[in-house]
Amino acid sequence: MDKIQYYTEEGLKRLKDELHMLKTKGRTDISNQIAEARDKGDLSENAEYDAAKDAQGHLELKIAKLEAVVGNARVLDSSQLDTSKVGILTTVKIKNLKNGMTVSYTLVSEEEADLKAGKISLASPFGKGLVGKKVGEIAEIKAPAGTLQFEILDITF
């Protein structure tokens, strides 16, 4: 059984839009490729036909996985969020104790993670190291370069 994942409304809408596009345009495009390859003759020696059938299998697998994700997705109501500690959809401002730099991240599901937008996955080592911490606490996060220490400065949503 897949586990429930929490999303923002915009994140869930994006997943549903992608699923819809794959089921409509994606399937139509693959069907057209198979039809074109079939029209070219002998299927036993037709590499285009084999490639199109493989692409169809990959598309259907992606659709099935996305349907499972959407089926287990829940929109998190921001009024229900607890900002006394770091958790899903909270924005945490942290200070690197080694160099004094401060940065803010919003913790999101894996599918919504986007480092450039300041959204990190709850399942990432960084996310796991921050979850459950409160303002003033020190989060120790294991990184390839060693263990990093961050002070939790603020938690909002």
Q: Are residues 87 and 69 part of one domain?
A: no
Q: What is the CATH number of the domain that holds 131?
A: 3.10.50.30
> How much is the pLDDT for 80?
67
Same domain, 87 and 99: yes
CA 97 to CA 153: how far, in whole Å?
A: 11
- Picking from 75, 96, 126, the residue at the C-terminal end of a domain is 75
**Last-in-domain residue among 26, 53, 75:** 75
The position carrying tokens 């299927």 is: 43
Long-range own/partner contacts, residues 115-122 (CB < 8 A, 24 or more apart): 118/91, 122/88
24, 58, 75 - which closes a domain: 75
Q: Which amino acid is at 76?
A: L
CA dihedral 109, 112, 113, 114 (to 10 degrees): -170
* Same domain for 147 and 86: yes
pTM above 0.85, yes or no: no
Q: How far from the centroid of its chain's Cα atoms is residue 83's Cα? A: 22
Query: Residue 22 has which token pair?
Result: 């794959």
**Residue 31: which CATH number?**
1.10.287.180
Same-domain status, 50 and 97: no
Q: Are residues 87 and 69 in the same domain?
A: no
Element housing 16 (H / E):
helix 9-21
For residue 118, what pLDDT is reported? 92
Q: Provide the token pair at 57.
A: 């299998």
Sequential pLDDT tens for the chain (157 residues):
467 777 778 888 988 999 999 999 999 999 999 998 888 877 777 888 889 999 999 999 999 999 998 888 888 766 666 778 998 888 999 999 999 999 999 998 888 889 899 999 988 988 999 999 999 999 999 888 889 999 999 998 7
End-to-end CA separation in angstroms for the chain: 30
- Both 125 and 149 in one domain: the answer is yes
User: Could you give the strand order of the β-sheet that contains 138-143, starting from the edge strand earlier in sequence?
Assistant: 119-121, 102-108, 91-96, 146-156, 138-143
Are residue 46 and residue 99 in the same domain, yes or no? no
Domain count, the chain: 2
Same domain, 30 and 93: no
Domain limits at 70? Answer: 5-75
pLDDT at 74 (0 to 100): 82
What is the pLDDT, as a whole number, of residue 9? Answer: 80
Residue 140 has φ and ψ, to the nearest 5°, of -105, 120
